[in-house]
Amino acid sequence: MSSSPAIKLRVFSLNCWGIRYLSKLCQERFEMIGDLLMKEKHDVVLLQEVWSEKDYLFLKSKLSKSHLYSHYFKSGVIGSGLCVFSRYRILDTFLYRYSVNGYPHMVYHGDWFGGKSVALAIMNIQEVVFHVYVTHLHAEYCREKDQYLPHRVVQAWELAQFIRHTAKTADVVILGGDLNMHPNDLGNRLLRSYTGLRDSFLETETFEGYNGGATLHPENCFSSKCELQPFPNGIRIDYILYKASVGFVVRCERLMTTKGNAPEKNIPYSDHEALTVTIHVRNTTNEDSYLEDLDPELVNVLNEAQMEVKVGINMAEKHRYSSGRMGVLGLVLFLLEVAIALVSFLTTAAEKSFPKLSFYLLGSLAFAVLLVMGILHVFYTVEVRTLQGTVDQMRLAAQQGGAPASLHHL
Amino acid sequence: MSSSPAIKLRVFSLNCWGIRYLSKLCQERFEMIGDLLMKEKHDVVLLQEVWSEKDYLFLKSKLSKSHLYSHYFKSGVIGSGLCVFSRYRILDTFLYRYSVNGYPHMVYHGDWFGGKSVALAIMNIQEVVFHVYVTHLHAEYCREKDQYLPHRVVQAWELAQFIRHTAKTADVVILGGDLNMHPNDLGNRLLRSYTGLRDSFLETETFEGYNGGATLHPENCFSSKCELQPFPNGIRIDYILYKASVGFVVRCERLMTTKGNAPEKNIPYSDHEALTVTIHVRNTTNEDSYLEDLDPELVNVLNEAQMEVKVGINMAEKHRYSSGRMGVLGLVLFLLEVAIALVSFLTTAAEKSFPKLSFYLLGSLAFAVLLVMGILHVFYTVEVRTLQGTVDQMRLAAQQGGAPASLHHL
């Protein structure tokens, strides 16, 4: 029994693949994205991988009439890549930067340099408080041997924790973004069962897009054919999730994803497909609304997640040990070289007893090894401690039967 | 008009100065702290600078009967140093690591290596939901020329944001810790006016301790005499703050701080004084409770904070420019050296035309400069972006007249 008219909301989410000078046809695609948003006038637009502030400012000026409000979230070396455009006033924002996010020395993977985060924007639409989250988790580069899996599980856990702790007074929670996880991956199950968020793809009344809701598809000319080889029908890694608190009901009327090339163009908007969801939020009497049942699977998922993070701790400890050992070797070699050099410098007789260039090159190498391994050792120490901290938190949650008191508020 | 009996709660907070091998008489002091806590049986104990997990585990085993519940928060290279002991079950925890926290190359200041954070522990005491926060902000090393001021203001801002966003369903909020700020410092005013937290020192009915509530005092034999020279009566930088939400009233009956040496001992517990506060939480009818008035000063404080953070941005941009310039110089010199070395290697005739040792030392130096300046450049870039992000958030808050909708929930 509805007590007030429903609010209809159209939410858009896209990973824009906006790495200037590296992503193909970046400028052209941002113009296409701007045109699309201006024409479609979605209520809320959640963008990821807008790495350059210039591209954000371009969109902001282009959407100055259709979307009066926007926020660009800065974090990390090249930003978080996240931004929100909205037809409704953004009342408040908050950013949480994930505590682990790959490795700085994996320069070719690059995730570490983007300060991967989850961003919150709070809006009040017709007296209903919306907490809108946008995020982008660490990429999966090799599914068979995924060295980043523990990092992604920790990010999924922190995402769930952040939403649970900050959305307690929200009437409606919406999360959009590139989770870099397949629908049934551990992190995804953890996120859904711990927050109670529902997957619009599973809930929608009508769906338009690729079979299975794929958002990375071989038909998209920018997608990595090699990465998608085991998945000829594509994979679904971009999501719009939602939930309502007591007193509200959300109905997902329609989910639409783009399919490769943009209409009347010969290129797609991005290497990911864009999602557009139409939801109806209805105020209900208390009898009509439901109290979220706690997912009975939650404790199992929490235990599984702890196991995975512990694998990550083992790996990080091994890396820390190796880097420490290499650092010590570098130090010993460097000190030895310095000693020999000093002797040769003081006793000129020894001048010709060893080759010069190779000797000094070795010295430089030893010094570089010492420095780099020292930094890596510190880095892995941080990783070990962060992962340990996460396991502690997960253990606490599992002890509570996955039902901390605070969850009941959501 | 009270509708149920008041809850009496004793909360303890201490910066333990627990840097193993560096802090004086560390082990002895932790034993004294353990004895005190076991004897006093405070309801909630908030400790900072418990850098070694061994010290935490020592306290945990010592307090296994008096304080059944505890949590140690891990973060950063040597941890966050934060832990909570409680007589009541800790239902849930969450940790937020500040996005800026000094510089890694300021090794002798060391703050960067501790992952300075704010930790949240949620407890349900007699059906009243307590959100208990403990934190430790970046130290102030030189009040006259405080290069860390923008970092501390950003930390105070993030602390306030974290509390506002996570405490919306709390009945009572308690924050304890070493804020490293004098009572009227900008960050402190920002924190108090943005969250509505009240300072127990200003609210308490009875107070025992040094005049002015000093928690760093020259009489404490571990305190830095040099740092306290301009303040012969000590300074107050450790706090217990609190607030109640609608429907509850908190009365602060007593605040007590230690005064130097522990009873019957010839040393104090730490270089900081410990705080013990006794509060009474009372459930009230709605008419009786008060809605927090928004601090009319908030917009001014927000503007002042923006100015300060902008000073920080200028400073970080200058540092970034200098490190970039030095890095380029290092690169040019290094390439030059490599070129000369190659020429001298290929044409043995040139062998004796320049001195060997100094040449190669210069090469190593150039390489080291290149490497270190490269890393610093990345670091300063992160700092600039983080500070810019903070200014954006502060501007948004000031535009809302300092009263984002979500604040009303607290």
Alpha carbons within 13 A on the beta-carbon side of A228: 20
Chain mean pLDDT for chain A: 87
The CATH number of the structural domain formed by B7-292 is 3.60.10.10
Judged by CB atoms within 8 Å, which residues 32-61 of B form the interface with A?
none
Find the residue in B nearest to A90 (Cα). B396
Which residues in chain A have Cβ-Cβ distances shorter than 8 Å to B365?
Answer: none
Position B242 scores a pLDDT of 97
- Euclidean distance between CA atoms A272 and A179, whole angstroms: 12
pTM of the model: 0.88
Q: Where are the domains of chain B?
A: 7-292, 299-406
Residue recorded with tokens 């920790």: A154
Task: Please report the pLDDT score of residue A133 as a whole number.
Answer: 97
Q: Any CB–CB contact under 8 A between B381 and chain A?
A: yes
Contacts of B389 in chain A (CB under 8 A): 73-75, 95
Closest Cα to residue A117, out of B79, B382, B317?
Answer: B382
Across B91-108, average pLDDT: 84
Q: Tell me the per-residue pLDDT of B231-259, one tens digit each, with 9 for 90 and over.
A: 999 999 999 999 999 899 999 999 999 99
Contact B345 A357 (CB under 8 A): yes
Q: What is the mean pLDDT of residues B90-117?
A: 82
Give the nearest chain B residue to A157 (CA atoms): B94
- Is A120 a residue whose pLDDT tops 90? yes
Return the bridge partners of A244, or none: A172
Q: Percent of chain B having pLDDT more than 90?
A: 58
Residues 6+ apart with CB under 8 A from B156: B137, B179, B181, B186, B187, B188, B190, B191
pLDDT for A346:
76
**Binary contact (A386, B93; C-beta < 8 A):** no
- A155 touches B: beta carbon within 8 Å: no
Which of chain A's residues have a Cβ under 8 Å away from the Cβ of B94? 161, 165, 393
Residue A192 has pLDDT above 50, yes or no: yes
Residue B294 parent element (H or E): none
Catalytic one among B42, B136, B217, B272?
B272
pLDDT the model gives residue B94:
92
pLDDT band at residue B4, thresholds of 50, 70 and 90? low
- Please give the pLDDT value at position B405: 40
Nearest to A94 among B77, B165, B356 (CB): B165
Query: pLDDT-derived band of residue B176, with 50, 70 and 90 as boundaries?
Result: very high
Q: How confident is the model at residue A410 (pLDDT cuts 50, 70, 90)?
A: very low
The closest of A184, A181, A171 to A135, measured between CA atoms, is A181
| A378 → chain B, closest CA residue | B77
Q: Which residues in chain A have Cβ-Cβ distances shorter than 8 Å to B357?
A: 341, 345
The position carrying tokens 């320049």 is B354
Instruction: Give me the helix-helix angle, B356-399 and A356-399, nearest 10°.
Output: 30
> Residue A2: is its pLDDT beyond 50?
no
Residues of B in contact with A372 (CB under 8 A): 371
Does residue A409 register a pLDDT over 50?
A: no
Q: What is the pLDDT of residues B138-156, one digit of tens each?
A: 887 777 777 788 888 999 9
Average of pLDDT values for B25-36? 94
Nearest to B166 among A71, A91, A166 (CB): A166
Owner of token pair 């009437």: A171
**Given this model, what pLDDT does residue A293 score?**
55
Using a CB-CB cut-off of 8 Å, the residues of chain B touching A388 are 74
| CB of B375 less than 8 A from some CB of A | yes
Which residues in chain B are closer than 8 Å to A369, comparing Cβ atoms?
none
The predicted structure's pLDDT at residue B356: 64
Interchain proximity B406–A122, CB inside 8 Å: yes
Of A76, A93, A364, the CB nearest to B367: A364
Contact call for residues B364 and A364 (beta carbons, < 8 A): yes
Q: Which of B9-18, B32-41, B376-385 has the lowest mean pLDDT?
A: B376-385
pLDDT of residue A45: 97
User: Nearest-CA residue of chain A relative to B366?
Assistant: A364
Q: How far is A170 from chain B (nearest CA, A)?
A: 9
What torsion, rounded to 10 degrees, do the Cα atoms A125, A127, A129, A134 define? 0
pLDDT bin (cut points 50, 70, 90) of residue A350 is very low
Question: Any long-range contacts for A286-289 (C-beta under 8 Å, 24+ apart)?
Answer: A286/A246, A286/A247, A288/A1, A288/A249, A289/A244, A289/A246, A289/A247, A289/A248, A289/A249
Query: Which pLDDT value is given to residue B117?
Result: 92
d(CA A377, nearest CA chain B) in Å: 10
Higher pLDDT, A88 or B401: A88
Q: How does residue A203 score in pLDDT terms, banded at 50, 70 and 90?
A: very high
At B355 the pLDDT is 55
Q: Is the pLDDT of residue B11 over 50?
A: yes
For residue B129, list chain A residues with Cβ-Cβ distance below 8 A: 405-406
In this predicted structure, what is the pLDDT of residue A1?
42
pLDDT value of position B325? 94
Are B75 and A386 in contact (CB < 8 Å)?
Answer: yes
Cβ separation B357–A371 shorter than 8 A: no
Contact A44, A132 (CB under 8 A): yes
Which pLDDT value is given to residue B407? 40
Residue B343: pLDDT band by 50, 70, 90 thresholds? confident
The model's pLDDT over B119-143, given as tens digits with 9 standing for 90+, comes to 999 999 999 999 999 999 988 777 7
Please, what is the average pLDDT of chain B? 87
pLDDT at residue B410 greater than cutoff 70:
no
Please judge whether A405 and B345 are an interchain contact, meaning their C-beta atoms are less than 8 angstroms apart: no
In this structure, what token pair is assigned to residue B18? Answer: 């627990």
Contact across the interface for B91 and A400, Cβ inside 8 Å = yes
B91, A385: Cβ pair inside 8 Å?
A: no
Please indicate if any CB of chain B lies within 8 Å of the CB of A339. Answer: no
Lowest mean pLDDT among A275-289, B193-207, B297-311: A275-289
- What is the set of active-site residues of A? 272
Question: Is a pLDDT exceeding 50 seen at residue A404?
Answer: no
- How confident is the model over A207-233, as a mean pLDDT? 91
pLDDT at B141: 74
Least confident of A383-392, B128-137, B247-256, B275-284: A383-392
pLDDT value, residue B324: 94
- What mean pLDDT comes out for the span A372-401? 87
Inter-chain residue contact B71 with A396, CB threshold 8 Å: yes
| Residue B312 forms contact with A (CB below 8 Å) | no
Determine the pLDDT at residue B212: 93
